[in-house]
């Protein structure tokens, strides 16, 4: 067999030069170095929970669900058997599309160690098989008013005080469910319940360190042993089925086709208490597809998720003033990228750097063009209301990131390491003993909780970053039922 021909530059006795390292054309950064920095960020950003921390997480969750059961019993407004959606990450992390300009600033490490968002249905419409048609005559795209005429007289009677009233010329009265009034009622009810609970503290009960109303959400920070947990509790309206306004989206091809079923994607949606830029705050709700996003997340590669988390950490710090871009915008861009790019490309394990740079480019493109379509309702432009001055300011900031992504990644790593150091310092000063459940009498009866702690630890290990849905009957808070994606526990 003939030897392969060689060029003069590669003649015998000389070693050809190794291939040049892959560089990012814009910044000159080595792609290999960016990949290593993203891996380092992921290592510090993803926390591992031992049995003690898992038990603290369970104790806090158990306390929140018990509290909501007591809220239901105050005036019977909340559904008796409710289904909550528990998401890992607070509202400020972009897990739901809610405006951040009304939220107080909380920092991981300084104010809390772990954060969650809990969607709590105030009303449920769960018996409809047809596409749900909402009253969008008075509101912007992706928003709706909600008339209580969809409900029975008993529901109207219970919620009248949380409605705005519109009288028609024919003499009929229409009650529109008010997100601001519902949030006020929810905050007042939670405050009453927490006041009652704290009058009779039990051993092992979490310490309520902060209860604040942030716009239309209620933020609670609990201290459990050596952990501080932030719960952003959002009152919502829950629907089974799919909104008619998003029906055309189902006709398109998507990255999740063949990986999960359409039934899983369109099992339900929510109205969250957020209005459009020019909307009427007392009446307007925003459509949320958080339940669908939990399912879609299963189809996103780990390398793209790592790039997304790193990019999110950079933009939360960089684009915080003025508040125009939220992590939810970045999440939408990631979903669009999954539809646009081949699955085989997005599945490459060593392409996290390419994905990070691409997300920054996408975000800058959206800003310059003042265009970020909602993933589920593409005709809704989520940046339409921004001024030219604001979008260009943020685009210039992103340009600095794109010119030196490695330096901004190092800064993000230092921030997350500093937060972890604060958490560890608190743990060292805090309790190191086993923490009983709030229902425990403090004796040696914690075996069920110990088993649950081990199960929770297993769930966390096997399902990093996934969201958890919990079905619970407030009359029997001792039997929570976990659902991580499509698994029940």
- Domains located in the chain, CATH noted: 31-427 (3.30.460.90)
Check residue 360 and give its pLDDT: 96
Determine the average pLDDT of the residues in 290-300. 95
Specify whether the CB–CB gap between 69 and 338 falls below 8 A: no
Residue 451, number of CB atoms within 10 A of its CB:
10
Residues near 457 by beta carbon (within 8 Å), at least 6 away in sequence: 49, 50, 51, 54
Tracing tokens 């940046």 back to the chain, one arrives at 383
Specify whether the CB–CB gap between 38 and 354 falls below 8 A: no
φ, ψ (nearest 5 deg) of residue 156: -60, -45
Question: Over 90: is that where the pLDDT of 78 sits?
Answer: yes
CA distance 294 to 175: 32
Question: Residue 325's pLDDT band (boundaries 50, 70, 90)?
Answer: confident
Question: Residue 9's pLDDT band (boundaries 50, 70, 90)?
Answer: very low
Determine the average pLDDT of the residues in 5-30. 67
- The strand pair at 114-125 and 227-240 is best described as parallel
Determine the average pLDDT of the residues in 103-114. 90
Among the listed residues 240, 215, 245, the one whose alpha carbon sits nearest the alpha carbon of residue 140: 245
Length of the chain in terms of residues written: 489
Specify whether the CB–CB gap between 230 and 224 falls below 8 A: no
Rg (C-alpha) for the chain, rounded Å, is 25
Token representation of residue 1: 């067999």
CA distance to 31, 231, 314, per residue, from 450 (Å) = 45, 23, 38
Q: Which string of b and e fits 278-312 if b means at least 16 CB within 10 Å?
A: ebbeebbbbbbbbbbbbbbbebbbebbbbbbbbbb
CA distance 148 to 19: 68
Q: What is the mean pLDDT of the chain?
A: 84
Check residue 18 and give its pLDDT: 60
Check residue 209 and give its pLDDT: 94
Check residue 485 and give its pLDDT: 47
> Residue 127 CA to chain centroid, in angstroms?
27
Percent of the chain with pLDDT over 90: 62
> Out of 44-53, 268-277, 398-407, 438-447, which region has the weakest mean confidence (pLDDT)?
438-447
Check residue 217 and give its pLDDT: 96
User: For every residue of the chain, which 3-state class applies, written as one string?
Assistant: CCCCCCCHHHCCCCCCCCCCCCECCCCCCEHHHHHHHHHHHHHHHCCCCCHHHHHHHHHHHHHHHHHHHHHHHHHCCCCCCEEEEEEECCHHHCCCCCCCCCCCCCCECCCECEEEEEEEEEEEECCCCCCECCECCCCCCCEEECEHHHCCHHHHHHHHHHEEEEECCCCCEEEEECHHHHHHHHHHHHHHHHHHHHHCCCCCCCEEEEEEEECCEEEEEEEECCEEEEEEEEEEEEEECCEHHHHHHHHCCCCCECCECHHHHCCEEEEECCCCCCCCCCCCEEEECHHHHHHHHHHCCHHHHHHHHHHHHHHHHHCCCCCCCCHHHHHHHHHHHHHHCCHHHHCCCCCHHHHHHHHHHHHHHHHHCCCCECCCCCCCECCCCCCHHHHHHHHHHHHHHHHCHHHHHHHHHHHHHHHHHHHHHHHHHCCCCCCCCCCCCCCCCCHHHHHHHHHHHHHHHHCCCCCEEEEEECCEEEEEEEEECCEEC
Q: Is 367 left (phi over 0), alpha (psi -120 to 50) or beta?
A: alpha
Specify whether the CB–CB gap between 60 and 224 falls below 8 A: yes
List pLDDT tens digits, range 117-168. 999 999 998 765 566 778 888 888 999 999 998 888 888 899 999 999 987 6
Question: Over 90: is that where the pLDDT of 484 sits?
Answer: no
Tracing tokens 């589920």 back to the chain, one arrives at 376
Token representation of residue 19: 């291939």
List pLDDT tens digits, range 373-384. 999 999 999 999
Question: Residue 17's pLDDT band (boundaries 50, 70, 90)?
Answer: low
> Out of 5-14, 120-129, 135-144, 173-182, which region has the weakest mean confidence (pLDDT)?
5-14
Check residue 7 and give its pLDDT: 41
Question: Over 90: is that where the pLDDT of 184 sits?
Answer: yes
Residues near 85 by beta carbon (within 8 Å), at least 6 away in sequence: 118, 119, 270, 290, 291, 294, 467, 469, 470
Among the listed residues 489, 381, 470, the one whose alpha carbon sits nearest the alpha carbon of residue 61: 470
Question: Over 50: is that where the pLDDT of 489 sits?
Answer: no
Check residue 229 and give its pLDDT: 95
List pLDDT tens digits, range 196-242. 998 888 888 899 999 999 999 999 999 998 889 999 999 999 999 89
Percent of the chain with pLDDT over 70: 82
Check residue 440 and give its pLDDT: 32
Determine the average pLDDT of the residues in 290-294. 95
Q: What is this structure's pTM?
A: 0.84
> Out of 32-36, 110-114, 172-176, 269-273, which region has the weakest mean confidence (pLDDT)?
172-176
């Amino acid at each position: 067999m003939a030897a392969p021909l060689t060029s003069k530059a590669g003649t015998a006795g000389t070693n050809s030069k190794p291939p040049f390292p892959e560089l990012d054309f814009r910044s000159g950064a080595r792609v290999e170095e960016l990949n290593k920095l993203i891996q380092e960020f992921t290592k510090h950003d993803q926390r591992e929970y031992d049995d003690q921390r898992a038990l603290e997480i369970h104790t806090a969750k158990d306390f929140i669900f018990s509290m909501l059961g007591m809220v239901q019993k105050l005036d019977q407004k909340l559904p008796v058997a409710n289904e909550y959606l528990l998401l890992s990450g607070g509202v400020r992390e972009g897990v739901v599309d809610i405006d951040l300009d009304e939220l107080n600033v909380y920092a991981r490490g300084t104010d809390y160690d772990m954060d969650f968002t809990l969607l709590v249905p105030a009303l449920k419409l769960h018996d409809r098989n047809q596409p749900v048609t909402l009253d969008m005559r008075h509101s912007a795209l992706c928003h709706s008013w909600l008339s209580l005429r969809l409900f029975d007289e008993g529901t109207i009677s219970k919620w009248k005080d949380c409605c705005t009233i519109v009288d028609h010329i024919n003499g009929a009265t229409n009650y529109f469910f008010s997100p601001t009034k519902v949030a006020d009622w929810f905050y007042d009810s939670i405050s009453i319940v927490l006041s009652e609970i704290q009058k009779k503290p039990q051993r092992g009960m979490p310490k309520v360190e902060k209860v604040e109303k942030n716009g239309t959400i209620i933020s609670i920070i609990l201290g459990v042993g050596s952990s501080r947990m932030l719960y952003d509790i959002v009152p919502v309206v829950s629907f089974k089925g799919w909104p008619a306004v998003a029906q055309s989206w189902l006709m398109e091809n998507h990255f999740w086709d063949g990986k999960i079923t359409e039934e899983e994607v369109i099992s339900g949606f929510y109205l969250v208490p957020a209005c459009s830029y020019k909307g009427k705050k007392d009446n307007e709700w925003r459509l949320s597809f958080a339940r669908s996003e939990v399912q879609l997340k299963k189809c996103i590669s780990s390398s793209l998720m790592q790039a997304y988390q790193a990019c999110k950490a950079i933009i939360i710090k960089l684009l915080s003033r003025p508040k125009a871009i939220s992590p939810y915008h970045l999440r939408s861009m990631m979903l669009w990228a999954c539809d646009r790019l081949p699955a085989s490309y997005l599945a490459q394990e060593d392409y996290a750097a390419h994905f990070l740079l691409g997300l920054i480019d996408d975000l800058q493109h959206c800003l310059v063009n003042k265009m970020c379509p909602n993933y589920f309702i593409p005709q809704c432009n989520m940046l339409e209301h921004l001024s030219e001055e604001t979008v260009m300011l943020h685009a210039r900031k992103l340009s600095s990131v794109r010119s030196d992504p490695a330096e901004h990644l190092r800064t993000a790593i230092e921030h997350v390491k500093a937060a972890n150091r604060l958490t560890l310092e608190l743990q060292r000063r805090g309790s190191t003993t086993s923490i009983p459940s709030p229902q425990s009498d403090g004796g040696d009866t914690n075996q069920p909780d110990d088993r649950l702690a081990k199960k929770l630890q297993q769930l966390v290990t096997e399902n990093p970053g996934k969201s958890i849905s919990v079905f619970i009957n407030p009359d029997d808070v001792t039997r929570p039922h976990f659902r991580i994606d499509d698994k029940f526990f």
